[in-house]
Amino acid sequence: MHAPLIIDIAGPALDEHDRRRLGHPRVGGVILFTRNWTGRAALTRLVAEMKDLRPDLLVAVDHEGGRVQRFRDDGYTPLPAMGLLGRRWLRDAPGQPGSGALEAMEAATAIGHVLGAELRACGVDLSFTPVLDLDHGRSDVIGTRAFGRDPRVVTVLARSLALGLLQTGMANCGKHFPGHGWARADTHVASAIDERSLDAILADDALPYAHLTTCLRAVMPAHVTYPQVDARPAGFSSIWLEDVLRDRLGFAGAVFSDDLGMAAARRVPGLRGSEPDGTLTMTEAVMQALQAGCDLALVCNQSPIDGGRTLDTLLDNLDEAEQDGLWAPDPDSEDRRQRLLPQTAPLPWDELMHDGDYQRALERVVQLAADDEDAAAG
């Protein structure tokens, strides 16, 4: 049965309403936030309880490094922003051309290994990483979250980071297709526009996706509108998701919507929603994303806002839409979700602390940060 919804919970422990929602057959996963974190032991218990309710539940988190890292203490390694790797790429040792690129690739794999191993030790299945956006110097939302400006460098470093994740049994999710680095607006609070042509975007920002189709296990589209291609944002556009991403680029993995609670996800050009101001309801946003080609719909930060009433209404409405023939579950989408679940058991935290592969990766991450401080001081 297709379970397309990735929802949130309000706090660090489950209540009866959370348990009821997680048991709903249309809920396929949970996304965690800092509000769900009180420490490693508590996180491990929380995830274990969710998995007892639903063994196939996909537990995910935004844990990139830099300013986007939900868990930072109680043993979790503070990871650098990916822009540091891009800078390292450009810094060759004297008389050793290309040494910076090799060091950056090795460091990216080490970061992926540490990131994946620490999350999996607490039961988390997936982090929404790597960021494949290019740093055009225009977007404060992206900035140092990006590996850099050159799509070739971004491609190689993203592949290296994905290798580190794979070493721990974790899948990956490239974002934000086809690219968020050119648009200036923050889609959490406003609509964002990228006025460039399809050819220009494919030759630049979307280039990493073209060269990572055999590597990426999931993709998250941007809540950005590219009016020369489609009037709708990429996450609501079958042109972007079906014609370009799947047919032209050959991507066969899972497609997540970005957070449908964002402002840019509720005001879609050409679509008038049922809210008094014309914005889409949550149900309408989910339906539009699924119909455009998303396999999974992220519905974030609703439980703390209204006690979960929006989520309950969404679950009821999705059931009714299926009964009325307005939405059909997709077995291919469910298969893609299932393939994101780890296929190997994680190392528990105490064992991880004595694992040689993890320790070597951790040393490399620590050294990277120290080298960057030395370079800045020099």
Annotated catalytic residues are 188, 258
- Strand residue runs (E) in 151-217: 174-177, 192-193
Is position 145 annotated in a ligand binding site? yes
For residues 308-323, b (16+ Cβ closer than 10 Å) or e, as one string? bebbbebbebbeebee
Is position 62 annotated in a ligand binding site? yes
The residues facing 27 across adjacent strands are 5
Q: Which residues lie below 8 Å from residue 181, measured CB to CB, with a gap of 6+?
A: 133, 134, 135, 136, 138, 139, 142, 146, 205
The number of residues in the chain equals 378
Burial (Cβ within 10 Å: 0-12, 13-18, ≥19) of residue 140: exposed
Task: Determine the 3-state secondary structure of 16 from DSSP.
Answer: helix
Residue 34 is given by DSSP the state: G
Q: Which residues lie below 8 Å from residue 123, measured CB to CB, with a gap of 6+?
A: 43, 44, 47, 48, 51, 59, 346
Q: Which residues lie below 8 Å from residue 90, measured CB to CB, with a gap of 6+?
A: 100
- Give the annotated binding-site residues: 62, 70, 145, 175-176
- Give the annotated binding-site residues for substrate: 62, 70, 145, 175-176
